[in-house]
């Protein structure tokens, strides 16, 4: 039986074996990008610290290639934790909201922020941008039925994948709307320009009448 190439295994299949923390430790902006890089032979199967040995073993089996240890250049596997905000210190800067890949943080500018505990995937991306260091990671006791990973359930990872997709679509839509608004401001709409031309013509006629009237003996 021929050995399947990486291209024969879809990015969807590989992505299903990534824990969807979207932590970027693998060197890619999200889990899906890492999965696609693996299919293109641009990334190894041992670059996901959250997935650890479970993910490496699964990907090795899917791709029919040898298992390898987790590459320490991308970090080490750590027990799962959840972000917690010290609400007495938070200044409401929104920096953590802007980087959370699953929209697990809620709040408004200059108002206290908080983490929705059940949505947090422990990616730690909210820690570096916080200017007052009011976010800490709190260890989580894994659920007894956590599988296939010790810390994550399949239901959770599927949920985080969906939330990430929804966030990306929302941000893309916001970007399109802003671009459209800038374009509208830069180039007047035809009706607006027509109205301006009509006003200029009317002003010119009034001025012409006044000039003609003033020149009569």
Give the model confidence (pLDDT) of 72-92 as tens digits.
999 999 999 999 999 999 999
CA distances from 106 to 93, 96, 100, 122, 174 (A): 12, 9, 10, 16, 18
Q: How confident is the model at residue 2 (pLDDT cuts 50, 70, 90)?
A: very low
- Determine the pLDDT at residue 1: 34
SS3 137: strand
What is the pLDDT averaged over residues 101-125?
94
CA distances from 107 to 90, 111, 167 (A): 10, 6, 16
What is the pLDDT averaged over residues 187-214?
72
Cα separation of 5 and 69, whole Å?
21
Does 185 have pLDDT greater than 80? no
Q: How confident is the model at residue 158 (pLDDT cuts 50, 70, 90)?
A: very high
- Pair 121, 134: CB distance under 8 Å: no
Domains of the chain: 6-74 (1.10.15.40)
Give the model confidence (pLDDT) of 20-53 as tens digits.
999 999 999 999 999 999 999 999 999 999 999 9
What is the pLDDT averaged over residues 86-99?
94
């Amino acid at each position: 039986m021929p050995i399947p190439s990486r291209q024969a295994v879809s990015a969807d299949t590989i992505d299903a074996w990534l824990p969807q923390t979207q932590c970027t430790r693998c060197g890619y902006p999200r889990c899906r990008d890492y999965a696609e890089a693996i299919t293109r032979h641009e990334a190894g199967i041992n670059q996901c610290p959250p997935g650890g040995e479970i993910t490496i073993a699964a990907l090795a089996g899917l791709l029919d290639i040898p298992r390898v240890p987790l590459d320490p250049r991308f970090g080490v596997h750590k027990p799962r934790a959840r972000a917690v905000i010290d609400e007495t210190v938070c200044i409401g800067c929104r920096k953590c909201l802007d980087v959370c890949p699953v929209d697990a943080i809620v709040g408004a500018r200059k108002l206290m922020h908080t983490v929705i505990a059940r949505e947090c995937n422990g990616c730690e991306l909210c820690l570096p941008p916080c200017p007052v260091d009011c976010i800490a990671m709190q260890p989580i006791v894994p659920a007894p039925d956590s599988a296939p990973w010790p810390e994550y359930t399949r239901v959770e990872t599927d949920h985080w994948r969906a939330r990430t997709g929804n966030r990306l679509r929302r941000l893309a839509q916001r970007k399109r709307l802003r671009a459209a608004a800038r374009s509208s401001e830069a180039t007047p709409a035809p009706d607006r320009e027509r109205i301006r031309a009509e006003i200029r013509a009317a002003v010119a006629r009034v001025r012409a009448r006044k000039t003609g009237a003033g020149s009569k003996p």
